[in-house]
A and B are shown apart, each in its own frame.
Chain A
Amino acid sequence: MSVLVYIEHVDGAFKKSALEAVSFAKAVGTLVNQPVYALSIGEVAQSELEKIGKYGAEKLITVNQAELKQFLNQAYASVIAEVAKSVEAETVVLSNSFSGKGMAPRIAAKLDAALADGAISLPRLSGTAWTIQKTAFSNKAIATEELTGSKRVIALTPNSFEPKEEPTSITIEPYQPSLSPDDLSTVIKDIVRATNQVSLPEAEIVVSAGRGMKGPENWAMVEELARVLGAATACSKPVSDAGWRPHAEHVGQTGLAVTPKLYIAIGISGAIQHLAGVSSSKTIVVINKDPEAPFFKVADYGIVGDAFDVVPQLIEAFKTYKNN
């Protein structure tokens, strides 16, 4: 019996959320007294692979063949399920990233396992019953889910479990999966990734702006604030609907739900649908010229003032802080 964790990489570098998943898997392994095996698919350098030992995995299984160089939903899900069977994994952990979301139900179905997606806490065990917490109703509630049966797949929400160093001596073991042509039927034509930007779903700091910015031409200061803080940029629904910013930046109930340490909202009034997507942020700062804006009611820190006045000064204040 074991815990298997799938570790996602981007261009050969493991993602922070993947390291969170390894630490989470290690904590689960400790709970059930089972070893933790990590699985990497695709091309990753040896030095990067060795990093995984720092987070408590005993063995790293690597699958690296030409057909699997790029992420393919069905093929990766098949490989993960096959490896899970071969190491008799009772628990499979992966990150609830965009790719993880696509694979998790397929892996669970292949293994006849219960699926806990969007998990935000370590499971609790009482006998054979596992319970785990996840967000529901677009962050307006936390649901405790009971997972029955002998197997489960847990997709962990990014930024909800701190990676912890727990060095073990790790062995790296290549594995050759059996792939069916059906698994390889999808063809990836192009990948466009902005390399100089912080990825929004995983960002620790998010700088978000709304209609208070008056127009897309005024976003330079939002981007500058994000750059100074190493943050991702986001926006409210009216802004993406108006085409001022891409849909991918829309956070809220019908957009992306984010869980950063710090969420800075500029010129966003705080409609209930927007709050749903951001209320799990650890700390919320609201900048709005309307003291009655509903967003202030759920903020930790508030500044009543015009964005065009406050944001440039805030950039200077953060720069001063960073320089000291």
Chain B
Amino acid sequence: MKILVCLSNVPDTTSKITFTDNNTRFNNTGVQYIINPYDEIALAKAVELAEGGKATVTVIHVGEADAEPTIRKALAVGADEAVRVNAFARDAWFVAHQIAAFAKSQQFDLILTGRESIDYNGVQVQGFLGELLAIPSVSIAKSLQVNGDEITVEREIEGGKEVLSVSLPVVIGTAEGVAEPKIPNMRGIMTARSKPLQVIDAIDVPVLSKIVHYDTPPSRGAVQLISKDDLAQLVNLLHTEAKVI
């Protein structure tokens, strides 16, 4: 089985989010980048499925050269090879076209993405990929099991879960529950250095949308502390002041 894992390089979860150029661009000064946490789940699952030589794992990243530490980390975790499409990852539409262009020539059986990236929070790449490759896609998987040519997926739905089965090839967006993220060991880190990392050029994709401005959410006023002995006051404030009950 050939597995492709799509990696996004995102600001660390503790990063302070600020903007520059008149609030039109994310300010990455001093920001530590990590593998998108949901993509780490996808990667861990792929490596698990490949155990004992049952599959090969290719990781792909669309981005500039500064993302290479993230890609090497994925190789250290256990991916066999990596591909970087050398371009600024403008948006999900652009990224999906790059991945689809690569995947078309390779016949992957299973394409995994994280359910969403924690920077732009689209849940887009998996669906775009499914459509561009004309294969099924499952957006938010909580568990997945491969049985031959078929894959059983538990998908999150409001207030519960849905179990579905789908034939390979398929694109799946992974969420918590699919696998535990793996930490690279020393051997992995050493071998990662010599694993292939291919850099390819991007294809042209028409622009359909563009972020033109960022705002930081309005801040709340100072907290109103209420005595634990006067909870009726809290109830009253929620009703009359906040008007939420």
A115:B208 contact, CB within 8 angstroms: yes
Contact A137 B122, beta carbon cutoff 8 Å: no
B21 to chain A, nearest CB (A): 14
Whether the Cβ atoms of B224 and A300 lie closer than 8 Å is yes
A residues 176-198 near B (Cβ < 8 Å) are 182, 185-195, 197-198
Residue in chain B with minimal CB distance to A97: B158
Min CB distance A260 to B, Å, is 9
Q: For the complex, is A171 an interface residue (Cβ under 8 Å from B)? A: no
Contact partners of B45 in chain A: CB under 8 A: none
Across the interface, do B217 and A140 meet the contact criterion of CB distance under 8 Å?
yes
Q: Does the CB pair A146–B121 fall under 8 Å?
A: no
Neighbour of A145 across the interface among B14, B157, B212, CB < 8 A: B212
Q: State the total of A-B contacts with C-beta under 8 angstroms.
A: 267
CA distance A202 to B159 in the complex (A): 10
User: Is A200's CB within 8 Å of the partner chain B?
Assistant: yes
Give Cα A254–Cα B38 distance, bound, in whole angstroms. Answer: 7
- One of A49-57, A160-168, A302-310 contacting the partner: A302-310
Interface hits, A99-120 → B, CB 8 Å: 99, 101-106, 108-110, 112-118
Q: Using Cβ atoms and an 8 Å threshold, which residues of chain A touch B238?
A: 262, 283, 285, 301
- Closest CB-CB distance, B207 to chain A, in whole Å? 6
Chain A residues whose C-beta falls within 8 Å of the C-beta of B158 in the assembled complex: 10, 15, 97-98, 193, 199-202
CB-contacts of B137-178 with A (<8 A): 137-140, 142, 152, 155-167, 175-177
Q: For residue A254, which residues in chain B have a CB less than 8 angstroms away from its CB? A: 13, 37-38, 118, 176
Q: How far is the CB of A144 from chain B (nearest CB, A)?
A: 4
Tell me which residues across on chain A come within 8 A of B122, comparing CB atoms: 105, 115, 117-118
Task: Check: B186 CB closer than 8 A to any chain A CB.
Answer: no
Q: Tell me whether A141 and B242 are in contact (CB under 8 A).
A: no
**Which residues of chain B have C-beta atoms less than 8 A from A108's C-beta?**
128
Chain A contacts for B93, CB-based, 8 A: 115
Determine the distance from Cα of A188 to Cα of B225 in the docked complex, in whole angstroms. 49
How many of B's residues come within 8 Å of A, CB to CB? 78
Is there a chain A Cβ closer than 8 Å to B50's Cβ?
A: no
Instruction: Identify the stretch in B1-9, B76-84, B101-109, B228-236 within 8 Å (CB) of chain A at 4 or more residues.
Output: B228-236
- Is B123 an interface residue when CB atoms closer than 8 A count as contact? yes
Q: Contacts A10-B158, A247-B142 hold; do A255 and B176 have CB atoms under 8 A apart?
A: yes
Q: Which of A140, A182, A247, A253 has the most CB of B within 10 A?
A: A140
Residues from 267 to 324 in A contacting B, C-beta threshold 8 Å: 272-273, 276, 279-280, 282-286, 296-305, 309-310, 313-314, 316-318, 320-321
Find out whether the CB atom of A146 lies under 8 angstroms from the CB atom of B210: yes
Q: Are A148 and B208 in contact (CB under 8 A)?
A: yes
Given contacts A141-B19, A194-B160, contact A302 B136 (CB under 8 A): no
Q: Is A250 part of the contact surface with B, judged by Cβ < 8 Å?
A: yes
Whether B220 pairs with A300 at a CB distance below 8 angstroms is yes
Q: Is the CB of B223 within 8 A of A300?
A: yes
- Is A131's beta carbon under 8 Å from chain B? yes
- Select one of A112, A117, A195, A301 contacting B234, CB under 8 A: A301
B231 touches A74 (CB 8 A): no
Known interface pairs A112-B208, A148-B210, A299-B223; 12 further A-B residue pairs with C-beta atoms within 8 A, sorted by A's residue number = A73-B139, A106-B130, A140-B17, A147-B208, A202-B158, A253-B118, A255-B176, A262-B242, A283-B238, A299-B220, A303-B226, A313-B228
Give residues in B with beta carbon < 8 Å to A. 11, 13-14, 17, 19, 26, 37-38, 92-93, 96, 118-128, 130-132, 134, 136-140, 142, 152, 155-167, 175-177, 207-217, 220-221, 223-228, 231-232, 234-235, 237-239, 242, 244-245
16 contacts between A and B (CB under 8 A): A102-B127, A105-B126, A106-B137, A109-B128, A137-B120, A138-B118, A138-B119, A143-B214, A148-B207, A189-B163, A192-B162, A296-B225, A301-B223, A301-B225, A301-B234, A305-B228
